[in-house]
Structure 1
Amino acid sequence: MNKPNFRHLYLIIISLFFCSGLQAQKSSVVQPGPRGVYVFLGKKVPCGKIISAYKIERRIGSEEWKALGDVQAPVSLNELISRIETAKKILPAQPLPSRQRLQQLYERAMSSGTIDSLKGFSLYYPIKIGLGLIYYDAGVMTGKEVQYRVTELGVKGESGAIIVSDTISLPHPSVFDEIQFAGSSRSLKTVYLKWYSAGKNPGPLFMVHRIENKKPVLAGGTVGHYSVNDTTYYTFQDSLTLEQSRIELQYMMTPFDLLGNAGKSTQVVAVTHDNFSTSYFMHITSSKLADRTATRINWYYSDPPTLKNVEIYRSDYADRGFVLLASLGSKDTTYVDESIQPTQPYYYFLKAISKSGKRFKESDKFLSLAYHGVIPQSPVITETIGTTKGVSLTIEIKDPNARGVRVFRNDGNSDKLTVITDLILRGDKSQILFIDSSQYLSGRKNYTYAARSESLDNIPSELSNRVTVRPLVVSAPQKPAYFKAFISDKSVKLFWEDMIKADSTIAGYLVSRRTENATAISNLPYSPIAGDLQPFISNMLEDSSVVKGNTYSYTIQSVDKDKTRSLKKAFVTVSFKEEVAIAPIGLSFTSMPSAVKVEWGQVSYKGFQAYHIYRINNGKTAELLSELPASTNEFIDLKVEAGSEYKYFLTTVNQAGKESEHSEVVVISR
């Protein structure tokens, strides 16, 4: 296994901390983590040199301050390493120095009493946690606003400087630019993979997992970042065992922020021991040399190690008469054809020959003219129409010498335009009607289009005017996330994610309620309480029409400007009955490649302690899979097999140990 690339990650951490340091006077001493809150205590090591400890207090909402304890530096190197190993469980993407290096850092910190003595390593969170400079509070309840007070205790235990943090609440999802797979290469001894993201919010750290026995396993190897303009590339290289070199390997990548919060993992990609079948030519261009009559052809191949050589063919005609012009090495990417005649059009294509010499792949044919042209005039998009099948564009070609146009489109999120068509030949027409019926178009997004002309000798124009249009493709909005309920003496307060900020086509929400039997699931319909006639636009609602002693369940749906409601609903159940356990509602499941994810609506009642989730496998007796904390509303079952049927249901348990009736049953066949 290769060692982590410390230097690369160190530079990343330095740059990110420098950016955050510019805001230190405004920022809080607290930051959200994956399952708790990080409290940044200061730069003084609490070892008795300058201060002896940090006293930490916490309060929830407007309650009184409650002491959490005193934090002190470790008394030995072994204790430091033990703390660091514990910290790595919540900060899995941060590498660490060797034990010998840790000993040097520990001795330096203890003798100076300040983190500044560690220089660059002072930025590593696991080391700061180990030295007592960061306190990780894993006891924060979801949805509760908390605040911290940190007091320095002097060498004799006297109180010193006091810092009071801003308020903070959980959960905190990390969102990065969407990461896509860029390509891979493989030899008998190594595998190389690359992903990329476009935008201003890349993942600062990432981890690569290999799928083994249908489960993700952390892959060793060397990782790296580099950026070109607003595009960030993530690279991974690993050594292969003899057994691995003979089989197909599957990988996935997950981005992390510096606090251990994970972003969305990429899709699993397969890397076969012979990638020739999935390799291809890319970025083929031809251009004229300024100093002589010659054509330069440039190309890239997605996986050069799979090639024996590349052959170039040429003809005077587009459909016949091609002859071999040159045979080049697998790593070559340029060829200059000096055997051409001025003003004569030539057609070319490239042929990739596999290492075995028994297979080949041909590129598309392309035209190159042996004379210097001028930049053609840009086309104009004169009309746009959103249809139920996509988008229709009318493109007027202004330049009489333009051979055709290419159409560009963004992804509905960023400003980056990407070509979506080959050259659309104009023939004898001055206008082209283009219909974009891509299956990836969504009626929930506005798309930007532009076009570009190309002359007879493949010289492109500047991009045309940009137009924005929304297809009329019917697609329901997503249901609101983080639907929560809180009970007061006379009302129920409901909160949820503001979907309007994330989706401009959403007009508001429909909130409904029904009264439940406290111990069983009701079959009565829900009655709207907000958003029935016009969508309710706020992301919070107080229901004051409740009656003490009753149990209620609520549902919420997003409603877009076309009055289309989200197909799925979010659920929450509350009860004013004391110590009466109630069952969850709104169960749903998601089938994953090697697991099943079960979700349900939040439950809230006095004395609520935990959830019990049960599973019935192929008609067998129900088995208790897990007892889950009251703050969660999802469970991932990793112990599933293909070809089996599974049934799931839940109950709740109160503080007295009484278990509710079970919820509805969801069934999935693998």
Structure 2
Amino acid sequence: MKMRTCFIACLLSFNACLFAQQRIDNLARPSQYGIFVLVGYQIASQSLDHLKANIIERRNLSENNWIKLVEISAPASLEEFKFRLNRFSVYLPDPSAIKQIPAEMLWNKLVEYKKIDSLKAWANTLPVQLALGIAYLDTTAQKEIKYEYRISRVETDGNVKVSYLSNQISYPVKVDFNPIKAIDKQYLDNSIFIQYKSLSGKKPFAVKLFRRDGLAGNYNFIPSLKTISAKGDTIIYSLRDTLIQANQIYQYYILPADYFGSIGNSSDTILVAAYNFSSVPLPKKITVMNLTTGNGLRISWQLTDIQYIKSLRIYRSESWSDKGKLIAEVSPYDSVYSDQNIEPMKIYYYEMEMIGILNEVSPKTAKVYGLYKSTTAPLPPRIKNAVGLKNGISFEIFSDELLIKGYRVYRSNTFDTRLQPISGIVLWNEGKTIFTDSSAELSGKVFYNYAIKAENTSGVLSEFSDTISARPLKPTTPPAPLNLTAKMIGNKIFLSWADMKPFEQSINGYYIYRREISSKGKEISPRKKLTDSLITPSQLSFIDSTFEKGKIYEYSVQIKDLYDGLSDFSSSAVVEIKIKTPIAPAGILAESTPEGIRLTWDEPVNSEGYSYRIYRSKGREKEKPIATITSEPFEFLDKSVVKNERYNYYIRSITKEGTESKSSQMISILK
């Protein structure tokens, strides 16, 4: 409307430019078919006592010469007026508007009043202006070339009274309308109703509806019933196509144009069907079964009418009440779908909906369900990092399978190599699963072998994993040694005990212990090892030569096994190391010599390295030791005597351990 107002303003401005050549803006306007040029607001017609004609000249801006295009005037009759209206209608943005123009009434007004003002609002319409010769469409102009126009008025006497210039212009131009988007479509009462919208701003003067039958071919202009209205900041375009056939598909777009027919960008394309999609039958006989090959569920169905269906959507949920998630969209020619992205032993619910060729969406079908049970065995798991513990054995289990429920643990040992199940299912953990065997029957003396089978969620077992071995660090207690004996032979004590290998294969060796006790069996010194190192299992005796005479010793033996386990002490064996009293010297003789008193005696039998202690007294004094002789000869010279004194002597033998014999016969002598 704004564009048309500017055009009328250009016409009115001519009255101010009658005697000078002047350039007038918006005098020339581009269109889709050429350039519209305004020649004035006065009708050129001798019958109306006005101007004789208007001359229109054109110049290419890249050239200097003017070319005369036309000399135009008003129609001479009503018939010519109607003819011109119909001839120019093809260049208008809305050709159907010609039918609304009351041509005869307008012509009679013009003849009666001889002024264009008498036509009132109709004088401002482009079809009437073209028909009356006050506007001209230059269809000979070349596209993309810039021109200017010169208009001259020729009066009835043939003189040119005035000339003026148009604005510089080229065609076509693209009008910058706001984007037009489809918002609604309906098939109703054998017609198709379409609505578009755009943001308010530069409003089109008219829109043309173009249609393509089916999904291929050319688009053609379609006369339609249409309205353009504003709602807030939005322009609504409502169009109705009544030239359709039932059960057909059509594609539409609209093309906006300004007052002179210059077009903007077309709207987006919309697909409309002349049928009711809700009457298309839904899929039937939907079934869900296990796949016969591969893993998953097989969904099958039947469609009785695929003419209007573009695709089928399949939805899946894990609960009857949950909203299904789209898992597939398939062709209407398909009748089977394999769902392999599921877990075994879980119920899945399926439903379907149809998508029409115009993206219509049907209601969903009723839900059906299926349970997938896999028959494929999982891969064997991996087992590693077996560690002995104080209460058993621990190891790690790994599996790359995704649908593992858990593991079955099997065990054998050194003495029984048959693998036997030892637990219920061990639940799978992401990453690794740690299993600890703390069975009471585990022995720290035995190595155990483990193998694992994986069990999937369908209950199918894998083959055995590799085997791994470990020994629990449970304390071991070998049996105590039996039949310990201890005998004193010569100067050594000989210990011996029974061979324990028949009773215990894991013997690593023996420890020998000794402690001193009293004659009543009470401990005098604590039990101590006689050696730091083990006595080998094959050595069943030990010789002790580190004892002291005159003491009582208690011996015991203990087994240490290969697993650092210690037995209880064996029954003890006691040995008393008796002290042997030496024989007192015999044959004692005393002789007074100038040097003193010389004593001599006989060598005792089995003296075994005795030494001899000399005792002396004088008068009634008590005897005192005065010397100890440790080597031969068997004599002693007492130089500490005094003359005329009587001395008494006796001698005792002394063993190496310091045991003294009884006193020899006493002998007296006067010095």
One fold, TM greater than 0.5?
no
TM-score by length of 1: 0.37
TM-score by length of 2: 0.37
